[in-house]
Amino acid sequence: MAELVFFTGTMDSGKSTLALQLDHNHNARGRAGLIFTRDDRAGSATISSRLGLKAAAVEVEDDTDLLNHVVQMMSAGGKVDYVVADEAQFYTEDHIEQLARMVDELSIDVYAFGITTDFRTRLFPGSKRLIELADRIEVLQVQTLCWCGARATHNARTVRGEMVLEGEQVMVGDTAVEDEIGYEVLCRRHHRRRLTAARSGAGSLSPDTLPFGAA
Ligand SMILES: Nc1ncnc2c1ncn2[C@@H]1O[C@H](COP(=O)(O)OP(=O)(O)O)[C@@H](O)[C@H]1O
Ligand SMILES: Cc1cn([C@H]2C[C@H](O)[C@@H](COP(=O)(O)O)O2)c(=O)[nH]c1=O
């Protein structure tokens, strides 16, 4: 039975990598897939992973009807066995409902990937609807880490290393940006305290806490 699966994790947890791997594996077994994405860092109509993989994708716009797009492809003789939907946090509630209908009405597997919450810890509309509608939610197994070494659960937005709480919900960007606007993954405790790596003075996750000669 076809299903709608939501793969989620913090920024930098390997979601796009997994999306591309999943596409590759299904393709290798002769299944035909279609990749949607929205506002990927690498540019329009592209799905990209920090491991260097990239692929062409269909860019989702506010007025894109995802279900209709697939129906049109199938009516023109195309085959669609599964759909990958990356950066799904940016999709509208309507887009997510179209994905659910694709599963129920066309028996197409839909694999959606995205972060759940924004820099203020609030759900994105697309992620909220996915949590409400998905058959399954899978949290990525590769844990991202806060500068303190704890599991990172939150995405902070930073300006020159300082965490900010003002601004638009959507601002495409990357982690490991130190000079301008960027993102940093943190544990809840440090997100609440707005304690980023720069503010804490933490240089690396393996500080010399036990120097040679220490008693
Ligand atoms: N140089 C590297 N060596 C090994 N793994 C890396 C390297 N750079 C990035 N990664 C891996 O890629 C992950 C980010 O993958 P990506 O698919 O871009 O994440 P997401 O889509 O969740 O933001 C990191 O968590 C890390 O596991
Ligand atoms: C927290 C947060 C993130 N974003 C943006 C930043 C990136 O472009 C994407 C997440 O991509 P990734 O592949 O998971 O790293 O989302 C945003 O616009 N607003 C936010 O609050």
6-20, 87-101, 170-184, range with the lowest pLDDT: 170-184
* Mean pLDDT in residue range 79-107: 98
Q: Residue 156 CA: which ligand 2 atom is closest?
A: 1
What is the distance between the alpha carbons of residues 38 and 44, in angstroms, rounded to a whole number? 7
Residue 120, pLDDT > 50, answer: yes
- Say what the pTM is: 0.94
Query: Which of 22, 40, 50, 113, when mutated, tests ligand 1's pocket best, judged by the most ligand atoms within 8 Å of its CB?
Result: 50
Mean pLDDT of the chain, nearest integer: 94
CB 122 less than 6 A from any atom of ligand 2: no
Model pLDDT for residues 168-213, shown as the tens digit of each residue: 999 999 998 777 999 999 999 999 999 999 999 876 555 444 444 4
What is the distance between the alpha carbons of residues 71 and 27, in angstroms, rounded to a whole number? 20
What is the distance between the alpha carbons of residues 6 and 114, in angstroms, rounded to a whole number? 8
Q: Residue 115 CA: which ligand 1 atom is closest?
A: 22
Classify residue 194 by its DSSP letter: T
Regarding predicted confidence, which is higher, 140 or 208? Answer: 140
CB 69 less than 6 A from any atom of ligand 1: no
* pLDDT given for residue 86 in this prediction: 98
Q: Which residues, 6 or more positions from 135, have their beta carbon under 8 angstroms from its beta carbon? A: 3, 4, 5, 103
Instruction: Exactly one of 59, 87, 168, 178 is catalytic; name it.
Output: 87
103, 2 contact by CB (below 8 A) = yes
Q: For residue 57, give Cα distances in angstroms to 140, 157, 172, 197, 211.
A: 22, 27, 17, 34, 50
CB 125 less than 6 A from any atom of ligand 2: no
* pLDDT given for residue 74 in this prediction: 97
* pLDDT given for residue 205 in this prediction: 52
Residue 115, pLDDT > 80, answer: yes
186, 192 contact by CB (below 8 A) = no
**Residue 140, number of CB atoms within 10 A of its CB:** 16
* pLDDT given for residue 215 in this prediction: 34
Residue 84, pLDDT > 90, answer: yes
Residue 98, pLDDT > 50, answer: yes
* Mean pLDDT in residue range 38-54: 97
Model pLDDT for residues 53-73, shown as the tens digit of each residue: 999 999 999 999 999 999 999
Residue 24, pLDDT > 90, answer: yes
ipTM above 0.90, yes or no: yes
